Structure 1
Amino acid sequence: MKLYITRHGETEWNTEKRMQGFKNSNLTEKGVSNAKKLGKALKDINFSKVYSSPLGRTIDTSKHIIGDRNIDIITADYLKEMNLGTWGGMLSDDIVVKYPKEYDNFWNNPHEYTPIDGENFYEVMERASKGLEEIINNEDGDILIVTHTVVIKCLLAKLKNLPIKNLWDPPYIYDTCLTILEVENGEIKFLKEADICHLG
């Protein structure tokens, strides 16, 4: 079994430096183009299913990746981006001014981040890890998973046994970057991590 995990394409709010969380923003032309490039790179992979966050940016990315192939897209709440509560839709510059301590912890001390409302990193790691386990237990073959930065970072940290403190360690999660996991006899092996070769 192989899991192909990617982040959604670039969105309008990404370019405006707005935090997204549970709120949605449309893909930019670049976001659509990058998703199609990933689709081209994966055209020979016979995906049995696609699992996607239910947010619009991930569903649209999923559709651009699979193109005209007839593959079921299953939406799963455990793949949703971190719930940022009040921060959703806010400019990062405004958050820094209004919530300086929380914003600093979010990026520099994620293990100490306490949200004003919404989720902390531990909660995201728990739901995302349980979700990944569910996919592994219920599926086989090649599975595409389309999700978000924090979810991917939490899954990578969990699989590497890294503490939340080290969540933001490299690699950077670029839009449509690809991580491939091979699952065999209960063992999970990294074949690729945050790869962007398809972007040229």
Structure 2
Amino acid sequence: MNIYFVRHGQTNENNNKYYYGKLDVCLNEKGLNQAKKAADFLRHVKFDNVYVSERKRTSETAHIILGHDFEKVNIDSRINEMDFGKFEGKNYKQIKKMYPSQWNRWCSDWKNESPPEGESYMKFYSRVHEFMDDILKLNEENILVVTHGGVVRSVYCYVLSGNLDFFWKFASRNGDITLIKYEYGNLYIDSITHVDA
């Protein structure tokens, strides 16, 4: 099984380094170009199944990659980005100024603490873990998953035996394509491609 993970193209919120997961925003011009590059890279792959988060930025990216085949997608809330609650739409300087105690608690225990009215990383990882467990039960050759940076990095943790500290050991750029293979009961990261490289 080949599982192709694509992080959505850039948005203005990415460009401004905002924390955002639940905010439903569109791709900017650079993001549209990144999606086109991902589409070109994947043009020869015939996908048996496609999964997309609930957000516009992933559906826009998937639409560009799939073209006329866009109807055959599964929208799955488990691969939505982490919900940052009241931190949404703000950069870290703004958050530190507006919510100093909550920011410090979150930084000191990022796995278990959650932003005000948001979700903890453990809750977030739990739904990504459940999604991956279900994907590995499928009997299909090529699967496309268009999702978010936090989800992709959590999938890396899943592949690496659930070691959540690996979350900070990988980058995930807008438009990146990660190929994860599942063969003979073995799950591994085969390649990570930067479309802007």
Q: Same fold (TM over 0.5)?
A: yes
Query: Hey, what does 2:175 align to over in structure 1?
Result: 176
For 2:175 and 2:124, the matched residues in 1 are separated by: 20
Deviations 1:90-145 (A, max 9, x none): 34321121233544565675335432222111111110011111122134110110
Unaligned 5+ segments in structure 2 are none
Kindly report structure 1 stretches of 4+ aligned residues shifted beyond 6 Å.
none
Query: Hey, what does 1:190 align to over in structure 2?
Result: 189
Unaligned 5+ segments in structure 1 are none
How far 1:37 sits from its partner (Å)?
A: 0.3
Q: Report SS of the residue matched to 2:20.
A: coil
Deviations 1:4-36 (A, max 9, x none): 011111001112222211111110100000011
For 1:108 and 1:175, the matched residues in 2 are separated by: 27
For 2:178, the aligned partner's letter is T
Query: Hey, what does 1:117 align to over in structure 2?
Result: 117
Give yes or no for contact 2:25–2:55 (8 Å, CA) kept in 1: no
Change in Cα spacing, 1:107 to 1:144, as seen in structure 2 (3 Å) is farther
For 1:113 and 1:176, the matched residues in 2 are separated by: 29
Query: Hey, what does 2:196 align to over in structure 1?
Result: 199
How far 1:57 sits from its partner (Å)?
A: 0.6
For 1:16, the aligned partner's letter is N
Deviates more, 1:113-122 or 1:177-186: 113-122
RMSD over equivalenced CA pairs, Å? 2.1
Change in Cα spacing, 1:130 to 1:148, as seen in structure 2 (3 Å) is same
Query: Matched residues, percent identical?
Result: 24
Give yes or no for contact 2:50–2:72 (8 Å, CA) kept in 1: yes
Give yes or no for contact 1:7–1:149 (8 Å, CA) kept in 2: yes
For 1:77 and 1:113, the matched residues in 2 are separated by: 21
How far 1:184 sits from its partner (Å)?
A: 1.7
